[in-house]
Amino acid sequence: MKVSAVIPAYQAQRYVAAAVTSVLAEGVDEVVVVDDGSTDNTAEVVRGLTRVRLVQSPHLGIGAARNRGIAEATGDVLTFVDADDLWVAGRLRAQLAALEEHPDSVILGELEEFVCPEVVRDQPDVATRLLPKAGRLMGWVTGAMLLTRVTFDRVGPFPIDLEVGETIAWFAKMKALGIDVVELPQLVLLRRLHGDNTTLVADRKRSDYVALAKRLLDEKRRRAQ
């Protein structure tokens, strides 16, 4: 199996190198970073890394960036990480072993949240407002997921009309299709909180979550009919 890791990146110059390094350390076959129209030095940082393919696009949002990365990737197994998060050692081996036993399933692992040390040092007022959830959580996020391309294609691409909530919508469609999920009791992802996380910015997420709730309700009604 050829494993491709897709990393959407927007204004990620501070963190993307660490994210890529954590993925490469696990021995993936291919890393595709999609620079989603960043205006900082994200592209330059990625160009300075080895064994990484950079794809640049206009700023279309994280769903579109992931979809572009998947289209560019050549592996038959897909996995992900956001540009400000980190993989954990041993992740890929454990998830691939689970996939071999459950080839038609989506494989998830656990995550832990942490406050970015640079924020603690440079922006203590921001750091005090960031409240990581205690302990390990089952990672119902894209960054904790591994699956075959065949399974991904059954569900289809991530929504591109939601700035946040696109993963929730994708998982809801996956469940509606009856695709099984294997939840590994193993830490696979460290989720960095730094104040600019898309899902933590209330003004950006409110309208999208309303739209998402309506979409999920409409889907439920259609299935009931």
Alpha-carbon distance of 5 to 32, in angstroms, equals 6
pLDDT recorded at residue 60: 95
Percent of the chain with pLDDT over 70: 87
pLDDT digit string (tens) for 155-201? 999 999 887 789 999 999 999 999 999 999 999 999 999 877 765 54
Please tell me the least confidently modeled range out of 15-24, 53-62, 154-163. 154-163
Domain residue limits at 152: 3-224
Domain count, the chain: 1
CB 31 within 8 A of CB 7: yes
How confident is the model over 205-212, as a mean pLDDT? 55
Provide, for the chain, the percentages of residues in helix, strand and coil under a 3-state DSSP scheme, each rounded to the nearest 5.
40, 25, 35
Q: Determine the Cα–Cα distance for residues 33 and 82; give it in Å rounded to an integer.
A: 10
Q: Which residue from 83, 119, 70, 85 is spatially nearest to 187, judged by alpha carbons?
A: 85
pLDDT computed for residue 205 by the predictor: 52
Contact 107, 146 (CB under 8 A): yes
Label residue 38 by pLDDT band (50, 70, 90).
very high
pTM confidence score: 0.87
Q: What is the mean pLDDT of residues 140-144?
A: 97
DSSP output for 55-77: EEE-S--HHHHHHHHHHH---SE
